[in-house]
Structure 1
Amino acid sequence: MTIDWRSKGFWSPDASRSPEQVAAERPSIFGGGFTWPLLVVRESAVRANIATMAAYCQRHGLEFAPHAKTTMAPGLFEAQLRAGAWGLTVATPNQALVLRRFGVERVLIANEILDPTALRWLAAESAAGWEVYFQVDSVAGVTAAAETGGPLRVLVELGHLDGRTGIRHLDELEEVARAVDAAPGVELAGLTGYEGQLPDQAGVDEFLDRMVAAFELLDKQDLLPPQPILSAGGSAWFDRVADRLGDLRTRARLVLRSGATVTHDDGFYREHTPFVRVADEGPLTAALEIWAQVLSAPEPGLAIVGMGKRDTPFDEGLPIPLEIRASGGPARAADGLRVSKLNDHHAYLAVDGAEVAPGDLIRFGISHPCTAFDKWRDIPVVDEERQVVDVLHTYF
């Protein structure tokens, strides 16, 4: 991994350095070695979030397999595993390949896999000793897995109406589980589901209660192994997972998959984290910020900032102005500023009662970390003085 002209945000037109060299220098992001926009990760916030989730899972008898697709950053994989994560979750075989190459010993793929090329690779890696699991929600998925000859471990997935993947009805769930039981080289390791798209607690609780009913059905039919995996939990409802599935912790390995918790955010997850409901169990702290420069103030009430859809997430809310850093002046709160829209490389800033001028730097919080990391190849990790102490590399 080399920091050079290919690394967005780092100003290295001629030189190249290793991340270790950058960290040893501890440069300030304001010292001339960086350009704007620039995404950074606050080290203290990440450490606190990882510790908070590790402690939460321990208190509630949960294993943690955080969704690595949020960051695809090996530096953060390692930090979560050191803190006691049972494994890591991914969404695709390509992401699983990245984790395999970085030596992650236990991986859940939260998807059905039908691609024979990927299935053959998974079977070969499983035969070589890798502990990897993926989901099935159809007999076709079981048949595709069996055609490799195995060995493959799968989780049957329960879904809900108007949701994403997953079997909608319990009788169909039993049918798929029986197909796994009969398939040579395919082993049923447990049951999984995803509640994160449901709009309210009542719907989430109802779905999780159906997961309990599904578990009891499969157990009664003697389709589950001695210590089955029971897995759920996005980043918005993991408290309900702990509450509704908790009675099964003596009969199953309960695995939580919340991925956005590692960095949290200043938008969607700030409002939807379970620690809003159970404040004494948290909190999480926003660890991602983007620094961008005001390029123009062409008319009253409007400023144009050099940051756009190529740089920041926008699918779960626009960036949130937090701080203004004027040239030669003290930092101040970004009161009276609001991002109204984004182009590819520009943000439109509505200005109401604030003073901003071309050249000012603005610190933005983001909403939805899962679509922030994929826009940056190399990301500085900074201390509270915005000195770089590490560099993350992403693999998207």
Structure 2
Amino acid sequence: MAYDAGQIGPLGPQHKAVPAGARGLTGAQLVARRPGLAELPTPLLTLDAGALERNVTAMAAWARAAGVDLAPHGKTTMAPSIWRRQLRAGACGITVATPWQLTVALDAGVPWVLAAYPVLDPGVLAVLARPRAARVLAWADGPDVVRLTSRGLCAAGEPAQPLDVLVELGAPGGRTGARSLGAALEVARAVAAAPGLRLAGVTGYEGALAHDASPASLARVRAWLEDLRALHERLGADGAYGEVPGGPGGGLVVSAGGSAYFDLVAEVLAPLHDPAGERGAPVRVVVRAGAYVAHDDGFYRGITPLARAAGGGEGFRSALHGWARVVSRPEPGLALADAGKRDLPLDEGLPEVQAVRRGGSGATEPLAGASVTALNDQHAFVRLTGEAESVRVGDVLRLGVSHPCTAFDKWQLLPVLDDASAAQPVLVDLVRTVFG
């Protein structure tokens, strides 16, 4: 078992992915029985073991070939067992997006944590002021952020070690981030002068500037990345960077790259990557893509950089699938299935019907002519045409989903199947998420 099944105690009603008859078993005992998909309840969201492994391996290989480091965004899964697999594959650390997520990463023993936001929570700053083994890097986009971060960190006296801070560069119309080179330089000066803080590099999020792979969007992202590079080079030329420790995980950090444009990050920023300091101060270019680990059958399928590369998107495969049982055929051309908004994501597109299991236990077979047109809290409206009119009450539909970041948070426990496309998929592990 590669993930969490061996660490999960008695299963109970809080685990909606677990068969009612398995309550009281441990995770290991359930998996040891190797139940087939037909024995699991619906609605259900599952992970595909082979696709997960393929995605982790493919992204690690891409980062090595591109000459950058990878600190995948942990908010995608909030599953420490998946984080550990990404770290074993070569990721330098994990990225988080809230103070609470930062504490989860530290509790999980992550050695290098990029907090992709300003750390202002007094309680978390108190934790960071104490001795710690992990390197933590936070963001700042204004002198006001710097003042509050420093004040909270030093509230109980001198911190045990400085908190590394990255200057966040934004753009007009974007999300957070200093809106100009001049504003970013002002932030850098404030960090360098603030007690308890250490200026450690530059960062930002290009995904807020575009939402597709059109030439105009790619040009806008590339221009912003060139501005980020110019900011880093200006800070170096001005002598703004202080002494930042080198060695494993050390050095200055230049970070960008969500799951949609990491190829452009490598194109523009990879020449800066010099973790050994062979050309001066050690510098790490860190990509933060996270959605790749599960990929999807929607938004990321269409925008992943590997789909733009020669040969198409062969590197990633969707590891997430919904399973919904048809509970009503109230009129011709319509089926109602038992999965809704509380089970499946819909913020980046509705689920797509991919296959059917007749009677809930038949072999998984492709299904054409069925489409989800709406989701209620606990129901999916499925429009049926052509051969899909053969769908009956009791059949189970396999659904592809869009946007993994809003899929994992609906499930405390996710079954891992050997192969979601197999005629009779089998449960081989469990992944536990931590969403609070």
TM-score, normalization by structure 2: 0.87
Mark the CA change 1:244 to 1:22 in structure 2 (over 3 Å): closer, same or farther: same
Matched, 1:167 2:199: no
* 1:244 matched residue in structure 2: 268
* 1:235 matched residue in structure 2: 259
Q: Distance in 1 between matches of 2:23 and 2:347?
A: 36
Q: Distance in 2 between matches of 1:59 and 1:18?
A: 41
Alpha-carbon distance, 1:15 to partner? 3.1
* 2:429 matched residue in structure 1: 390
- Percentage of pairs with the same residue: 44
1:254 corresponds, among 266, 270, 285, to 285
* 1:214 matched residue in structure 2: 231
Matched, 1:75 2:110: no
* 1:37 matched residue in structure 2: 43
CA contact (8 A) 1:4 1:13 kept: no
* 2:411 matched residue in structure 1: 376
Q: Distance in 2 between matches of 1:187 and 1:320?
A: 48
Deviation per CA, 1:270-290: give whole Å up to 9, x if none.
000001111458510000001
Q: Distance in 1 between matches of 2:142 and 2:413?
A: 39
Q: Distance in 2 between matches of 1:209 and 1:390?
A: 44
- In structure 1, what residue type is equivalent to 2:385? D
* 2:301 matched residue in structure 1: 270
* 2:393 matched residue in structure 1: 358
Deviation per CA, 1:187-224: give whole Å up to 9, x if none.
11111111112221011111111111111111111112
Unaligned 5+ residue runs, structure 1? Answer: none
Q: Please give the secondary structure, in 2, of the residue aligned with 1:207.
A: helix
Matched, 1:312 2:323: no
**Range with greater deviation from structure 2 (105-114 or 365-374):** 105-114
Alpha-carbon distance, 1:177 to partner? 0.4
Q: Please give the secondary structure, in 1, of the residue aligned with 2:117.
A: strand
Deviation per CA, 1:69-125: give whole Å up to 9, x if none.
00011220111011011000010111111111111111111101222222222222x
Deviation per CA, 1:364-384: give whole Å up to 9, x if none.
010000000000001011102
CA contact (8 A) 1:382 1:389 kept: yes
Matched, 1:301 2:333: yes
**Range with greater deviation from structure 2 (372-381 or 210-219):** 210-219
Alpha-carbon distance, 1:234 to partner? 0.5
* 1:101 matched residue in structure 2: 107
- In structure 2, what residue type is equivalent to 1:362? L
Number of positions where the alignment pairs a residue of Structure 1 with one of Structure 2: 392
Alpha-carbon distance, 1:130 to partner? 2.3
- In structure 2, what residue type is equivalent to 1:210? D
Q: Distance in 1 between matches of 2:405 and 2:290?
A: 8
Alpha-carbon distance, 1:330 to partner? 4.3
Mark the CA change 1:236 to 1:14 in structure 2 (over 3 Å): closer, same or farther: closer
Q: Distance in 1 between matches of 2:272 and 2:105?
A: 29
Calculate the aligned-residue CA RMSD, in Å.
Answer: 1.5
Q: Distance in 2 between matches of 1:196 and 1:345?
A: 31
CA contact (8 A) 1:53 1:261 kept: yes
* 2:91 matched residue in structure 1: 85
Q: Please give the secondary structure, in 1, of the residue aligned with 2:178.
A: coil
Q: Distance in 2 between matches of 1:183 and 1:314?
A: 43
Matched, 1:146 2:150: yes
* 2:134 matched residue in structure 1: 130
CA contact (8 A) 2:172 2:179 kept: yes
Alpha-carbon distance, 1:301 to partner? 1.4
Matched, 1:22 2:54: no
Deviation per CA, 1:100-156: give whole Å up to 9, x if none.
1111111111101222222222222xx333211110111111111211223311111
* 1:5 matched residue in structure 2: 13
Q: Distance in 1 between matches of 2:325 and 2:310?
A: 35
- In structure 1, what residue type is equivalent to 2:319? A
* 2:122 matched residue in structure 1: 116
Deviation per CA, 1:37-71: give whole Å up to 9, x if none.
11110000000000000100001111110001000
The residue correspondences of 1:337-348 to structure 2 (distance < 5 A) are 337-348=370-381
CA contact (8 A) 2:353 2:397 kept: yes
Q: Please give the secondary structure, in 2, of the residue aligned with 1:341.
A: strand
Q: Distance in 2 between matches of 1:14 and 1:231?
A: 45
CA contact (8 A) 2:173 2:209 kept: no
Alpha-carbon distance, 1:9 to partner? 2.0
CA contact (8 A) 1:5 1:13 kept: no
Q: Distance in 2 between matches of 1:42 and 1:152?
A: 38
